Structure formats: structure tokens, C-alpha cells
Amino acid sequence: MKIVRITLLIAFILCLINLFAFAAPQTMTGTVTDTMCGKKHMISGKTDADCTRECMKSKGDWTYGLIVGDKVYSLAGDAQQLDAAAGKRVKVTGEVNGNKIAVKSITPVQ
């Protein structure tokens, strides 16, 4: 009886893991930035897009980011596509894991 309970518990845990591992992509709308500056860009005299590109050229631990409300998500995806979207309002579709988004697609918002 005890082995049956343990087996059922393990099966239940594996099912939960599969649910989280195969989460459906989400779509979020926000502005592309870098995770160094986030919402407040620090290079004076430059546009948000130019500041984002300058920060991404420097060698730091930051990535492209997406500002959604008060939160900044880290973006993982095609660097050229993200660079082209720097400073722009976009719709990003991808898999969200905490504060990170694995970008599947990115489209401009008019």
C-alpha cells in the first residue's frame, strides 16, 4: 500500500512538472530597453533607443529588456531583431519564466 502511494505521488509530481515545462507562450506589450538602465536611461543627450544600444555594446551582465508597467523583463532572442526594436513599443510573444522571456516573435505596436 505504501509503495502505491509513493508511486502515485511521484506520478503526480511528474505531471505538474510537465504542465510547467510546456506552458503556452504569452504575449506582452511594452517598450524595449536594456536591463542595465531599465525604465530610466542614464546617457544624457541620447534617445532611449540610442542609450539602449550603447549599453548593449558595452560588456556587462545586462540583456535587452521589456518594460511592462513597473516591471522590466529580461529578453532572450535574436539580438539583431531586439536591437532594431530598441526604444520602441512592441508586442513580444514568448515563454515567460519569472522575469525572463524567451522571445518567439516581436512586432511593433502603432
SS3 helix, strand, coil % of the chain, rounded to 5?
35, 35, 30
Task: Determine, yes or no, domain membership for 4.
Answer: no
Q: What are phi and psi of 51, to 5 degrees?
A: -65, -45
Residue range(s) defining the domain that contains residue 39: 25-108
Q: What are phi and psi of 96, to 5 degrees?
A: -95, 130
Contact 94, 107 (CB under 8 A): no
**How many domains is the chain partitioned into structurally?**
1
User: What is the domain-level CATH number for residue 86?
Assistant: 2.40.50
Task: Determine, yes or no, domain membership for 90.
Answer: yes
Ordered per-residue pLDDT tens for the chain, 110 residues: 778 677 766 767 776 666 565 567 899 999 999 998 888 888 878 899 999 998 888 877 889 999 999 999 999 999 999 999 999 999 999 999 999 999 999 999 98
**Torsion of the alpha carbons at 40, 80, 95 and 67, rounded to the nearest 10:** 10
Q: pTM score, two decimals?
A: 0.76
